[in-house]
Amino acid sequence: MGRGSSGAGGSLPNSSSGVNSANIKNSRDLVSMRERKQEEVDAVLESARTLAEDYGVQVGQFEIADIGGKDSGVLAYSDGENIGFNSGYFDGAKMDGAYDESVKQGYHPSRGSKSAIEAVGYHEGGHVITQRVADRLGYSGSGSMDKAAKKIVQGAMKRTGDKSSMKFATKISGYSKTSYAECVAEAIADVACNGKKASPESRAIDAEIKSILKR
């Protein structure tokens, strides 16, 4: 989950830049921190448990890392298999504050009654789910997640009757506009946090994914 620029025009960009791996320092196992950070670690595990139940998709490893350089403001990241959290934000109150500020600016969907750490877990889990959709569709190699995300958004747009992917993404969140992949991840977080109160566009993405994964 990064801080992207918002695009203009009719279609979403195909891929987002993501976190530069050179800026990820000193990553270590997240779950082993549970003694010191019980509430936070449990929120992460709860997000993974819910997504496994809803979509049948398991996250690989959870890690925590020190993130520097231009990516120091990133809350978390995923490679489509594993999820990492930024050690600089891995505190319940601090994450709630950072997240709520971005919700106020229209950058992320509401977290409903969930903690921000859980909401971020849903967003990053959304990337893992998208990679699973890519596998299911027979896409492989670099760019397969982006390709699956585009397919999901296009399917969801048929459900809502939208013609412009940029307009469609705008109704989910500001960050959704940065790429098809972020649009899907934001929609999954919206549905996981807000249920029936999630936007119709997010719910269409959820329905499209479930139809591909036969859930």
C-alpha neighbours within 13 Å on the C-beta side of residue 119: 25
- Shortest distance, CB of residue 157 to Zn ion, whole angstroms? 20
Q: In whole angstroms, how close is the CB of 206 to Zn ion at the nearest point?
A: 16
Q: Which is nearer to Zn ion, 108 or 203 (CB)?
A: 108
Closest CB to Zn ion among residues 185, 193: 185
Burial 150-170 (b: 16+ CB within 10 A, else e): bbbbebbbeeeebeebbebbb
Alpha-carbon distance values, 31 to 21, 44, 80, 105, 184 (Å): 21, 9, 19, 32, 26
**Shortest Å, Cβ 207 to Zn ion:** 20
- Roughly what angle, to the nearest 10 degrees, separates helices 38-55 and 116-137? 30
Give residues with Cβ within 8 angstroms of 18, minimum separation 6.
2, 77
8 A C-beta contact, residue 77 and residue 19: yes
Minimum distance of Zn ion from residue 137's CB (angstroms)? 20
CB of 39 or CB of 81, closer to Zn ion: 81
Distance in Å, CB of 123 to Zn ion, minimum: 6
Q: Which of 1, 19, 169, 191 binds Zn ion (CB under 5 A)?
A: 1
Q: Is 19 in the site for Zn ion (CB under 5 A)?
A: no
Any contact of residue 185 with Zn ion (CB under 5 A)? Answer: yes
Number of helices (H), then strands (E), belonging to the chain: the values are 7, 4
Choose between 43 and 189: whose C-beta lies nearer to Zn ion.
189
Interface map 139-178 toward Zn ion (x if CB under 5 A) = ----------------------------------------
Residue 181 Cβ vs Zn ion, minimum distance, rounded to whole Å? 7
Half-sphere exposure of 24 (CA within 13 A, CB side): 19
Q: Which is nearer to Zn ion, 76 or 156 (CB)?
A: 76
Residue among 1 and 59 whose Cβ is closer to Zn ion: 1
* DSSP H or E run through 67: strand 62-67
Residues that bind Zn ion (CB under 5 A): 1, 182, 185
